[in-house]
Amino acid sequence: MATLLVALVALLTPRGAMAKEAPTTPDPMVLEVPGFGDAYFYKPRSKARRRVLFYLHGRGGNPFEDCRKWARVARQFGWVVCPQGPSTTDTGGRAWSNDADTARRIVDATFAALSDKFKGRVRARGNVLMGFSEGAFIAQQIGVRDPARWSRWLILAANDRYWYGDAPQLLEQNHSKIRRVFLFTGEDDQVAENTRRAGEMLKTAHIRVKVKIAPGIGHEVPADRMITNYRRPLRWLIAAR
């Protein structure tokens, strides 16, 4: 009888109530950046010198929560670092104000603060720059001007119009330092065609690039689909020597 009662309870109890809750990602750590707002970060699982994966949020983004999401995807590859744009939107999110010069100073200061805090554990070169939407604009501007430090790029919602002025010439000049680039855009995103054209610009500059226009996705990939969509591109980027 006791066995039968246990079986009945198991059948009638919701599966989620019987299972242990899935572990949640802890809050990111706070990195003080002299002269700028704090950044958020996660340590790598190894204490050896590891590469850095910088995520540049979109306009109105929440760097704290964005960093938590990206930690689930990218922490296995190295440091996950999420600086904050210098301005605030009406909704309380952060923005870069389309100011690539200020953004580069923030990125440089954040990288320096991380390297100073964890001496000998941060790679100076061969790191990964990731940017979404307005952050894609910033990443495309920074990456082409600092290709030794940022030799691998994951650009989400890339746009060929973000490379203006001397940027096309810089792509040509720095093509040997830019190891790999992955452009990822949703099929329903209005910049999908611009992403394809950005890919052609990279190919013309003799830079190894992959372009994925993902079906059934709009401007932003849902959080529960990030691992599925982004972990493989990151593995491909990091596989480059």
Share the mean pLDDT of the chain: 91
Tokens of 148: 């030794």
* 136, part of any domain: yes
Which pTM was predicted?
0.89
* 116, part of any domain: yes
For residue 2, the model assigns a pLDDT of: 45
Choose among 125, 163, 127: nearest CA to 144: 163
CATH number for the domain that contains residue 232: 3.40.50.1820
CA distances (Å), 233 to each of 39, 58, 218, in order?
Answer: 24, 19, 18
Number of domains forming the structure of the chain: 1
Choose among 98, 170, 165: nearest CA to 134: 98
* 17, part of any domain: no
Walk along the chain (241 residues) in steps of 10 and give the mean pLDDT of each run. Answer: 40 37 78 98 91 98 97 96 97 96 98 97 97 98 98 98 96 97 98 98 98 96 96 95 74
d(C-alpha 36, C-alpha 109), whole Å: 8
* 15, part of any domain: no
pLDDT (tens digit, 9 = 90+) per residue, 112-123?
Answer: 999 999 999 999
* 219, part of any domain: yes
Choose among 167, 159, 156, 169: nearest CA to 199: 159
For residue 63, the model assigns a pLDDT of: 97
Choose among 70, 10, 16: nearest CA to 40: 70
pLDDT (tens digit, 9 = 90+) per residue, 132-167?
Answer: 999 999 999 999 999 999 999 999 999 999 999 999
Question: Residues of the chain with pLDDT > 70: what percent?
Answer: 90
* 16, part of any domain: no
d(C-alpha 49, C-alpha 123), whole Å: 6
Kindly give the pairing relationship between strand 150-156 and strand 79-82: unpaired
Q: What angle do CA 116, 233, 101 make, to 5 degrees?
A: 45
Structural domain of residue 177, as residue ranges? Answer: 25-239
